[in-house]
Chains A and B, each alone.
Chain A
């Protein structure tokens, strides 16, 4: 037996250098596209010019001078709006996939259930550019604007150019987010439902539990761990709005008053090339995200001994 184990080990170690060769592409890619940018973050502490030395990191260090924005009013307005937007979007759309999954689970006709599922996944296969285009046409003031057509037919009154007023921007973000993400979000819950032990349902049925009881006392609690883990994943998103979503639904008329941090970073950093300031803002944002994710992870660890890492 013992010698058998040794030969086995010998055999598997014989060409094991090849296994390390397999790791080379992933290692190089991770190093170049994750570790080098991580290291390049020190540009936030420099008077950065892209042509100063390797990666521009030969630029002069200026300490925390780029972080002067922390004392500026405009930054806190920007940050406040970002948190307000992302918090509103999170609260309004986060529980919905769970509810939809429970309702889908109660459908009796399997063909119909399959159909609804297939349909509800469609928006996942559409870009935010397309969603923005749809909102553009639906909210248009022209006769092709469906929402204004309905509004006039029901309430009468003026046609409103919804996309041009900042007060409608957050509702548009919320609605577009629900429309796009709701169906796809159910997948993970439906998968979790199939993992609930059937014995629980059998036992409950023996005890005379009806459908409602089974849904509330078995299925729902079975989904809570998944719900918590997803919630913690999205905690980090509290200081980050979805770039594609906000960027595409904005327009020049309302841009200044609806910018969120990552949009601002894009315009100031990539477009206006203010590298020092914008990387400082982005780094600060990243730090807050990191702290939020770690806090969330700590909380779950305490609550149900299942941590992400």
Chain B
């Protein structure tokens, strides 16, 4: 029942249940005991429900991990549930030989680095002038940026434009077209508006121009919001699958999600990974252990782990930012 206060610093809402001693003492008063049996049953059911929910969320990941650590041929002998019956790391050694996966890693990491920088930069640059309510023609610009939210191109006209701009099979297609987002800009603008105007004014009196103010005052003050959007940009760039599907046919520009898509949808192992091309370590592995090649199913799950898990270890560290954006968005409305 307690309200989460970690992100409520700027909100008027304060946690009344834990901070207010009167509320606490009220709980212990006799009038409250009446409903307590029902409440206790509810609490137990609620907690059980949450445990089941957490299990349903986590188990698929765990199971995929278990399969990826299993011997593929052994899997055919019967179901595994929580632990690999025949533990092996061979699947990983095998999968990491996959050249397309390696190049996809490079491409994906490159876009996860360049994407956030460009995107946050463009949005911040636009957000700062638009936070100045006195700026002549400000409304015109806002309308210009907002209109495409409601009417825009179709998939087909977008494709044609990309083709004509020579962005098909071009790394820039991952970074440039989505760099400016209207909603992101509006949330950044709301954040900038909260920076005390006195900071800017005193700098102006000292003769600073807007470029100096932007780089020396606005950007350092906006670190939290920039971190939040940079993080979401990384997430977007890591998970994006459609851009490659639509605009890229060149193998060297495939992203991780697209390679995973190819692997998951390949019906035979030979379609997935070119076995004639396997590297030295795999050949040695095969000789040493007389192991058969991993089955398609196991390979699919191993690639899935390699593609999916890196992001899952990063995201809890950014959790505090999730609500920041949401609250600012709400203030705007």
Spell out A's residues near B (CB within 8 Å).
8, 11-12, 14-16, 18-20, 22-23, 25-27, 29-30, 32-38, 40-41, 43-44, 50, 55-56, 100, 103-108, 110, 112-113, 115-123, 125-130, 132-134, 136-138, 140, 142-144, 146, 149, 179, 183, 187-188, 190-198, 201-202, 205, 208, 210-212, 229, 243-244, 247-248, 251, 262, 265-266, 269-270, 275, 278-279, 282-283, 285-286, 290, 293-294, 306, 309
A285 to B326, CA, bound (A): 30
Let me know if A16 and B135 touch, CB within 8 A: yes
Closest to B26 in A: A205
Let me know if B239 and A126 touch, CB within 8 A: yes
B231 to chain A, nearest CB (A): 11
Q: Tell me which residues from 64 to 98 in chain B have a Cβ below 8 Å from any Cβ of chain A.
A: 64, 67, 75-81
Given known A-B contacts A43-B157, A198-B13, A201-B16, A23 and B125 have beta carbons under 8 A apart: yes
Chain A interface, >50% SS class: helix
Let me know if A195 and B330 touch, CB within 8 A: yes
Given known A-B contacts A137-B67, A143-B79, A283-B154, A202 and B16 have beta carbons under 8 A apart: yes
Given known A-B contacts A56-B160, A106-B46, A26 and B185 have beta carbons under 8 A apart: yes
Let me know if A129 and B257 touch, CB within 8 A: yes
Spell out B's residues near A (CB within 8 Å).
1-5, 7-8, 11-17, 20, 23, 26, 31-32, 35, 39, 42-43, 46-47, 49-50, 53-54, 56-58, 60-61, 63-64, 67, 75-81, 121-123, 125-126, 128-130, 132, 134-135, 141, 144-148, 150-161, 163-165, 176-177, 179-180, 185, 201, 204-205, 209-211, 214, 235, 239-242, 245-246, 257-258, 260-261, 264-265, 297, 300-301, 304, 307-308, 311-312, 315-316, 319, 322-323, 326-327, 330, 333
- Return 6 A-B CB contacts under 8 Å, by A number: A27-B144, A29-B177, A56-B160, A112-B50, A137-B64, A194-B11
Contacts of B145 in A (CB 8 A): 26, 30
Given known A-B contacts A40-B153, A121-B315, A194-B11, A26 and B239 have beta carbons under 8 A apart: no
